A and B are shown apart, each in its own frame.
Chain A
């Protein structure tokens, strides 16, 4: 593993190379893709990107938790969490690429 971190910058650089828009516009497009996905998820929609994966919102009900340090019981409010299920293609590519 090379252990590098890819950020928005590398993604917009890739868009810039691929499509030939300005760097600034490429960065804005990366941002608006993330923003449209976030908005759909906040509306409670599933976001299904074929051959990439599926983001879904799950409702968690209230439960009693425990502060592991003090042992004290604390109520955990009901909340919404996001889960990502990678596609088979992604799983296969990640497994193949990281094989020793």
Chain B
């Protein structure tokens, strides 16, 4: 399923809404999640999962092609942990 299919399904279920509003709704939800993580916040959606930010320490890396050492700065990366209910549903337990 891709973004446009998700929008279409929500639009089909809500015939009283304009397609363009459904698009804005879906986009707003994903944008809020990304915005929260870029502020360093955690997004917890019970039953679905939680998005959080993990810190990666600075390290000395290596260019795999040349073997040269490079200093890699500390950085922050997005992380998702599946919620218990969804994990169970994936395994036919709920």
Query: Which residues of A approach B to under 8 Å, CB–CB?
Result: 1-8, 10-11, 14-15, 18-19, 21, 26, 29-30, 32-34, 36-38, 40-42, 45-50, 52-53, 55, 57, 79-84, 86, 89-91, 93-100
A21 and B18 CA atoms in complex are apart in Å by: 12
Contacts of B32 in A (CB 8 A): 6, 10-11, 14
25 contacts across the A-B interface (CB closer than 8 A): A1-B53, A2-B41, A3-B40, A3-B41, A4-B42, A6-B32, A6-B44, A7-B43, A8-B45, A11-B45, A18-B28, A29-B10, A33-B26, A42-B90, A52-B30, A53-B78, A53-B80, A80-B90, A81-B87, A81-B90, A83-B80, A91-B77, A94-B34, A94-B78, A97-B76
- Is B29 interfacial (CB 8 A cutoff)? yes
- How far apart are the CA atoms of A3 and B39 in the complex, in Å? 9
> For B44, what are the chain A residues with a Cβ–Cβ distance below 8 Å?
5-7
Q: Bound state CA distance, A7 and B21, in angstroms?
A: 22
Cα A84 to Cα B30 with chains together (Å): 14
- A83 surroundings in chain B (CB, below 8 A): 80
For the complex, what is the distance from the CA of A74 to the CA of B71, rounded to whole Å? 42
Asked if B6 and A36 make an inter-chain contact with CB atoms under 8 angstroms apart, the answer reads yes
